[in-house]
Structure 1
Amino acid sequence: MPERHDGHSDLHSERGALAGEHPGRVKNPVIKVYDLAWLEFQKPDLVRAEAFAHAFGFVTALRTSSELHLRGTDAGSPCVIIRKGPRSRFLGPAFRAADDADLLRLAEATGVRPRPLPETLGGTVTDVRDPGGLGVRVVSGTHELPPLPAQQPLTWNSGPYPKRTNSPQRPSREPAKVRRLGHVVLQSTTYRRSLDWYLQHLGLIVSDFLYYRGQRERGPTMSFIRCDRGTIPTDHHTLAMTLGPANRYVHSAYQVADLDAMAAGGEYLLDHGYHRSWGIGRHVQGSQLFDYWRDPDGFLVEHFADGDVFDCTLEPGWAPMTASGLAQWGPPVTPDFLNVAVGRRLLGQARDVVAALRAGNEFDLSRLSGLLKVARS
């Protein structure tokens, strides 16, 4: 009998670290953040931003002439805060501290004074910066928005015992209701320094490392990072970081009910003229069902469902970084998702590469060669 070959056998990351490799956590972090609270953006057109947000599945929690708060159906903070400004840009993430004492501990360690947030949010914030210069907020005691009616997963007939009788499935072609913010992905020219900063200051721990083929001895180039809640399971990644030629936002992800909500919601977005970047498929690291969209300002946003959750006992996995390894199944990864589609973004990428190579940071010629191999893999 010929030997059968599993095409994903070298892509999954159940394999662990080799001796001397990054442990994926630190022993005594300053604090351990509990979750990602919200993301902040600046955009010039709040009306346009709100129209896409509603089609994507957000609900408006606050709207003024200068600010827009977007929420999901789960109780808690808004998922996204958009401030009106002259150009579109990502301002940074806000993480939720476990309590006020942790907020004060972080402030003392970084030499930053905590201050009150606006009454629209409530609570207190300590504003710090990561090694790449991105503003990172850590908040505590914010107002909690009440839950809203949620979209329920459909009942599936599977196996020999059907659960649905005399009742056809007819999912509505309507926006998939966003439940909550899941994670944000960032690119950094100082990836290793930034990774260590988040582990040390916020107490995050790594779920999976990726590395460029042939360069494992130089260390990882991407990490999927989760909150450490001890024995309480948490999302496979709340933050993901990757090495690249510029410090930038890559994408953010928002949970929806199930595959039908994602697919029907995607048809609604297509009907209203919005651009699907990549999907629908299922990831490898994190296992999420995914569907990626470009908003009118060019930001990449993801619907996801059915993601992995880990507690503190699971050690990091290690796997090579490949374009084909981004999904277990689904359509081929697109140039738009990889940010190499012909057009303005590709020209911007080229300028970033030249600037990064001149700057003498972690993104050097060897790393550029590895990244190009990823895009072609």
Structure 2
Amino acid sequence: MAVLALVVLISTGCGQPPQGGQGGGGESGSGETTGSETTGSETTAQEELKPGEGSLVVYSGRSEELVGPIFEQFEERSGIDVQVRYGDTAELAATILEEGENSPADLFFAQDPGALGALDDEGRLTRLPDDILGKVPSRFKADDGDWVGTSGRARVVAYNTEELAEGDLPDSIFDFTDPKWEGKIGWAPTNGSFQAFVTALRVLEGEDRAREWLEGVQANDPFVYPDNLSAVEGVASGEVQVAFVNHYYLFQVKEERGDDLPAANYYLGGGDPGALVLAAGAGVLDTAANPEAGREFLEFALSDEAQQYFADETYEYPLTEGVEINDELPPLSEVQGPEVDLSNLDDLGGTLELLQETGAL
């Protein structure tokens, strides 16, 4: 029943173009925005995947723009033929569940831990070797060792610096339900990291308060964006004053439009849920035709070379020791996010249901 519920929720919710709010801000969900994670309707039709010895089949909820170079580097060094199906993280998780034993995927590379947890709950991931798990802090891997984080990302409030000063922003994500923010907020409810944040809100604060927050923001008529990148662009253009996003999208927009972009990241403090630190990560499927290749890729993804790529090219936080972060980022130790076990962010179905009930999806 859990599998069926997740598949139905994905197909009727996240697979639809974003609705509601006062604008669509940016490109529609039918095409991938450069540098962004994919949205619900972006799973692409590609050549037939051919699993087996000498190949690695990956279902990737991380976009080709962001992680394609990592797959290319791994392919060159290992001699393993990497075949990738890109799409929305939650949608791909549902696809794996629906495919069952017939899934061609060896590795699931997710934008957030929620989708990994959903698969793990169904017994679809296998325990990783200790030498892989030991490379990252305990908070960035599954309690049972079935998935591991590959890079870190902090939830922030991006804000327009021409309209607001940092002192104008509230101390808590809950304060954005105040009517004074009506028409000034942007969000991307189909985004996997946003959904993981809502799941964390449910875990940390309870179902009722999470619902109250969603309904409160909805009452403020937020602009709905197809992805985080277009939400930051909406902030920079003045379409909205604030947006709830991952930290690194600001730097991607600056790369395209220049450092004088009138936007900045605001990091909430005091353990507020709005400062949640998530991890992109991956796990090897129980039906993998070539699980060894999946594990070999994870070893590469946690190598100094790959971790430095995430730091330098995608502006994310490396998760292994000895790799320098981008000098434009605050150290991860200074990000005052809430203490939450990422393994507990596994009720993706419950979050999607709540988002639909509150009209966010």
TM-score range, shorter chain: under 0.3
Which is bigger in relative contact order (C-alpha 8 A, separation at least 6)?
A: 2
Q: What TM-score comes out, normalization by structure 2 length?
A: 0.26
- Greater per-residue strand proportion: 1
- Greater per-residue helix proportion: 2
Larger Rg: 1
